[in-house]
């Protein structure tokens, strides 16, 4: 059951636990508040009392879970959850629902925030330093948001970054990813319309590429077409660059197609390779270029 909930909500294990705790504490809080309010009326516990109690806890529940979600770091999830519930009921979202800085102030604008914005999914496999820079870059954007972190390694650092920023995460499994739909349903559920690869080590299946034509980009830690292809990632790239006594290296941001590191180049940035450089020192230079340019290039593409 918990595995299905993680997949359905696009969260990791820690966030799932906090969400369940929020549901439980929020329910207890609204139940307690409902009883206290009815006690003020002096009514006996009869049928009328039961009806009023049900009405009260129905009204109080959204506010109760929102209040509990704030200290538990789940405000973003429950705000969107409650908005979806009210939309399904055919009503507007509750007026008491708090708004975050920069959010729309009207119901029409709020619908735009969640339905018309560009929702980015970041695919990452490791620590997530590039993902963190991208998240920070778009944290105040009104029309571009990071809607999902997709990771193939449980416990990867990028999942902790997602949790810290209240961004849903999806842990993917090989069989489902390559043979059973490439998680397209989950991406659709999160309204994803652009995909950014940031240190993601699996090749993308054709189903995913076909579903997002010219809407998937990758960053490679070398100057393509050199030092690309299967197995060319991380320190393997830097070791090859140094071994071949290259004078320059850099980054390449490119569209993703069916082949490793093959799609059309969008942007390149360069750095010198010194005689005393090691794979580790070169990696640091490359990280500086990645962090400086990747968020800006993404922003530029999405504003066109």
Q: What is the pLDDT of residues 231-251, one digit of tens each?
A: 888 899 999 999 999 999 999
Helix (H) or strand (E) holding 276: none
pLDDT of residue 124 exceeding 90: yes
Contact 103, 93 (CB under 8 A): no
Span between the terminal Cα atoms of the chain, in Å: 43
The rounded percent of the chain whose pLDDT value lies above 90 is 48
pLDDT at residue 90 in the model: 57
pLDDT at residue 10 in the model: 59
Phi, psi angles (nearest 5°) of residue 253: -105, 125
Beta carbons within 8 Å of 111's beta carbon, 6+ residues apart:
none
Q: Closest by alpha carbon to 119, among 227, 215, 242, 2?
A: 215
Q: What is the pLDDT of residues 74-93, one digit of tens each?
A: 777 787 777 767 666 655 44
Which position has the higher pLDDT, 290 or 43? Answer: 290
Q: What is the pLDDT of residues 167-220, one digit of tens each?
A: 999 999 988 888 877 889 899 999 999 999 999 989 898 889 999 999 999 999
Average model confidence (pLDDT) across the chain: 84
Q: Can you tell me the distance from the alpha carbon of 266 to that of 260, in angstroms, rounded to the nearest whole number?
A: 16
Predicted TM-score of the model (pTM): 0.63
When mean pLDDT is compared across 64-78, 250-264, 282-296, the lowest value belongs to: 64-78
Residue with tokens 């820079």: 133
When mean pLDDT is compared across 44-48, 209-213, 253-257, 266-270, the lowest value belongs to: 44-48
pLDDT at residue 233 in the model: 84
Contact 115, 90 (CB under 8 A): no
pLDDT of residue 115 exceeding 50: no
The rounded percent of the chain whose pLDDT value lies above 70 is 85
Q: Homologous superfamily of 116-302 in CATH?
A: Formyl transferase, N-terminal domain (3.40.50.170)
pLDDT of residue 162 exceeding 50: yes
pLDDT at residue 260 in the model: 83
pLDDT at residue 106 in the model: 33
Domain extents in the chain: 2-113, 116-302
Which residues are identified as catalytic? 220
Q: Can you tell me the distance from the alpha carbon of 127 to that of 167, in angstroms, rounded to the nearest whole number?
A: 16
C-alpha dist (Å) from residue 9 to 80, 142, 217, 254: 11, 23, 25, 30
Helix (H) or strand (E) holding 252: strand 248-255
């Amino acid at each position: 059951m918990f595995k299905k909930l993680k997949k359905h909500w696009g969260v990791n294990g820690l966030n799932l636990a906090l969400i369940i705790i929020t549901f439980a504490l929020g329910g207890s809080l609204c139940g307690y508040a409902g009883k206290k309010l009815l006690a003020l009326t002096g009514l006996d516990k009869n049928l009328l009392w039961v009806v009023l109690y049900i009405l009260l806890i129905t009204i109080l529940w959204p506010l109760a879970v929102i209040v509990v979600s704030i200290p538990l770091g789940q405000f973003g999830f429950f705000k969107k959850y409650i908005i979806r519930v009210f939309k399904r009921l055919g009503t507007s979202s509750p007026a008491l629902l708090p708004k975050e800085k920069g959010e729309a102030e009207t119901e029409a604008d709020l619908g735009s925030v969640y339905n018309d914005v560009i929702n980015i999914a970041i695919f990452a496999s490791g620590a997530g330093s590039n993902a963190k820079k991208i998240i920070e870059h778009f944290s105040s954007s009104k029309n571009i948001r990071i809607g999902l972190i997709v990771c193939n390694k449980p416990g990867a650092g990028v999942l902790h970054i997602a949790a810290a920023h209240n961004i849903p995460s999806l842990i993917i499994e090989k069989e489902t990813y390559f043979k059973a739909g490439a998680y397209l349903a989950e991406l659709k559920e999160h309204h994803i319309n652009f995909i950014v690869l940031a240190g993601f080590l699996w090749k993308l299946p054709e189903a995913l590429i076909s579903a997002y034509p010219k809407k998937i980009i990758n960053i490679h830690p070398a100057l393509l077409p050199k030092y690309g292809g299967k197995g060319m990632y991380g320190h393997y790239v830097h070791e090859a660059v140094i071994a071949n006594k290259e004078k320059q290296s850099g980054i390449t941001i490119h569209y993703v197609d069916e082949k490793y590191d093959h799609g059309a180049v969008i942007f390149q940035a360069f750095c010198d390779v010194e005689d005393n450089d090691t794979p580790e020192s070169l990696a640091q230079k490359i990280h500086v270029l990645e962090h400086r340019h990747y968020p800006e290039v993404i922003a530029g593409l999405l504003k066109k």
